[in-house]
Chains A and B, each alone.
Chain A
Amino acid sequence: MNSGGTNARIGYIAFNTFREAVRDRVLYNLIAFALLLSGAAILVGEISIDIERLVVVNLGLTAVSLFGVVIAIFIGIGLVSKEIDKRTLYTVLSRPVRRWEFVVGKFFGLTGTLVVNTFFMALGVFLALLYVAHKFEMMDVWVLVALYFIVLQFLIVCALALFFSSFSTPLMSAVFTFALFVVGSLAEDLRGFARITQGVGGWLATAIAYLVPNFSALNVISQVAHGDAIPGRLILYDSVYALLYSAMAISGAVLIFQRRNLK
């Protein structure tokens, strides 16, 4: 099987995953998001002073992140188990599709779904910004960077959900992934704890701090809400980090899925 064929097969699985997610009405969350954001934009203008932009950015980006993470977890955990339950996995694997291609294709399909979802939500955020501020400002560029970081978060969450779903039940996969998301969101505190702890506890805390996904490094929502610039080097490092961490989780998923007895 050549690499062109591999790419085609991965692309086909990814496209089907995306199509299935759309068919499952995943994008309906956009309606809830639009209602939330437009409601907040209008309401805050009525009841508060001078924090309209702040609220739209904070609420908008937080909602983009949380909606996306929830989608990533709840679709990601079912990607493998659903195919087994519906017995469609056997049909797919009986064709010239390797197991690793199946895993990687599913990953791209899910991240593609989230990127499309995020694109529409980002449009909503910028429309709400335009509504409250009546114009765009230079600092709104950083909102784009924050949105990019959120997409990087999704990469990691998708990869983790897929990793756990490669060996665990959907419920346990959801629990594991969500727990890692929470721990990873508090990673700065964990790292701070590791820095001030001595001895074995310090080593252990450092190891855990480096092993769990550092979602807090990918969260710049508060900074961009206040118009703070994001350093170029952070954008580069965070991009590399998210790609490597996702690759790590996907490799783990491939290794497990290769060995899994599907009978």
Chain B
Amino acid sequence: MSATRRVNRVAVAVLLFSMAGAASTLYAVDHLRREPVAQESLYVNSPKVLRRLSLGYTGLLADIYWTRAVQYFGEKHRAGSRDYRLLAPLLEVTTELDPRLLPAYQFGANFLAPKPPYGAGLPGAALALTKYGIEHNPDQWRLYYNLGFLYYTELKDYAKAADAFSRGAKLPVTHPFMPVLAARMAEHAGEFDTARMLWHTTYQSTQDPLIRQNAVQHLLALQVDEDVTRLEQAVKKYHEQTGRLPASMSDLERAGLIHLPANGTPADPNGRPYKLMPDGRIEVQDPGSIYFITKGLPPGVPTPEPARVD
């Protein structure tokens, strides 16, 4: 074997060995540093300083910070963490660097507002973020929609929700549901209809499959909550009229309190008939099959939530 060929063979062997070794070592480093790298402190947390440091490349830096915010939220959410302390500063830096980065407001508010572990449990920060977004993007109806949604779902402040939807409804480009939502908030009636309309608008205003799936799950849960409420009201009326509880759904129909469907029994969106319990409560057959329902659950069973993706 010539010297050159021998050198080549050794070089190839070293190259392959070091490539495999470097990848394995990096894997070990990655696991060792995962927590520290999640960085429980932002060493540069002043958006103004970052703006200067970016030398004018604020757009790119904002994109990087937005990506970091998404990753931070994703990692924390996946780990079931209740501590999202860096989320608000990351979003603040992102939007200060690029105030027109709409996804940061739309998704950011949804990360911030819900209670842990589904979000940071910071509705105040979500409101501040959305208001900052409106200040810099006053012609975006989605931001007014998000603001109204936050007031309605997180703070139950109907007057402010109505004001947000109403301002969004007056924009040249808006969603047809916005004036309706504004009116409903003003009279804050028809909780189920209003909630259905909100989730319907959410479904229509995004192409993101996860958000759409979430909206569909909420719409199905609303249907169950509404069905159970209606059936339990009928049971209550039956009790008031007859002095006893109904033995079956047919008793309610015979009393003219409900109309049974063609197949005989009212059913949830999955087609499973609702159960009339001996104490007059209505229960779903499989509580884990429909997420987010708040009614029709056996006593002590919490609201089912989707499993986190690992």
Residues of A within 8 A of B30 (CB): 191, 217
Determine whether the beta carbon of B8 is less than 8 Å from that of A241.
Answer: no
Chain B residues bordering chain A, tally (CB within 8 A)? 33
Contact residues, B1-36 vs A (CB, 8 A) = 3-4, 7-8, 11-12, 14-15, 17-19, 21-23, 25-30, 32-33, 36
Identify the stretch in A34-42, A132-140, A252-260 within 8 Å (CB) of chain B at 4 or more residues: A252-260
Determine whether the beta carbon of B67 is less than 8 Å from that of A241.
Answer: no
> With A186-B64, A193-B67, A255-B12 as given contacts, are A245 and B18 in contact (CB-CB < 8 Å)?
yes
> With A98-B3, A251-B15, A254-B11 as given contacts, are A196 and B74 in contact (CB-CB < 8 Å)?
yes
> With A226-B41, A240-B21, A241-B22 as given contacts, are A193 and B29 in contact (CB-CB < 8 Å)?
no
Determine whether the beta carbon of B15 is less than 8 Å from that of A244.
Answer: no
Identify the stretch in A64-72, A118-126, A230-238 within 8 Å (CB) of chain B at 4 or more residues: A230-238
A210 CB-CB contact with B under 8 Å: yes
Q: How far is the CA of A196 from the CA of B74 in the complex (A)?
A: 8
Among A196, A216, A234, A251, which residue has its beta carbon within 8 angstroms of that of B14?
A251
Determine whether the beta carbon of B11 is less than 8 Å from that of A251.
Answer: yes
A63 CB-CB contact with B under 8 Å: no
Among B12, B17, B21, B71, which residue has its beta carbon within 8 angstroms of that of A196?
B71
Determine whether the beta carbon of A210 is less than 8 Å from that of B32.
Answer: no
A100 CB-CB contact with B under 8 Å: yes
A-B contact count (CB 8 A): 90
Q: How far is the CA of A196 from the CA of B75 in the complex (A)?
A: 8
Determine whether the beta carbon of B68 is less than 8 Å from that of A245.
Answer: no
B49 CB-CB contact with A under 8 Å: no
Residue in chain B with minimal CB distance to A255: B11
A231: min CB distance to chain B, Å:
7
Residue in chain A with minimal CB distance to B74: A196
Q: How far is the CA of A244 from the CA of B29 in the complex (A)?
A: 14
B29: min CB distance to chain A, Å:
5
Q: How far is the CA of A251 from the CA of B37 in the complex (A)?
A: 31
Determine whether the beta carbon of A217 is less than 8 Å from that of B33.
Answer: yes
Determine whether the beta carbon of A251 is less than 8 Å from that of B12.
Answer: yes
Determine whether the beta carbon of B18 is less than 8 Å from that of A248.
Answer: yes
Among A196, A222, A241, A254, which residue has its beta carbon within 8 angstroms of that of B43?
A222
Residues of B within 8 A of A216 (CB): 37
Residues of A within 8 A of B71 (CB): 189, 192-193, 195-196
A214 CB-CB contact with B under 8 Å: yes
B49: min CB distance to chain A, Å:
12
Determine whether the beta carbon of A234 is less than 8 Å from that of B33.
Answer: yes
Residues of B within 8 A of A254 (CB): 7, 11
What are 7 A-B contacts defined by CB distance under 8 Å? Answer: A191-B30, A193-B67, A196-B71, A217-B33, A234-B29, A252-B11, A255-B15
What is the interface of chain B, defined by CB distance below 8 A to chain A?
Answer: 3-4, 7-8, 11-12, 14-15, 17-19, 21-23, 25-30, 32-33, 36-37, 41, 43, 64, 67-68, 70-71, 74-75
Closest 7 CB pairs of A and B: A251-B15, A248-B18, A247-B18, A241-B25, A244-B22, A192-B71, A244-B21
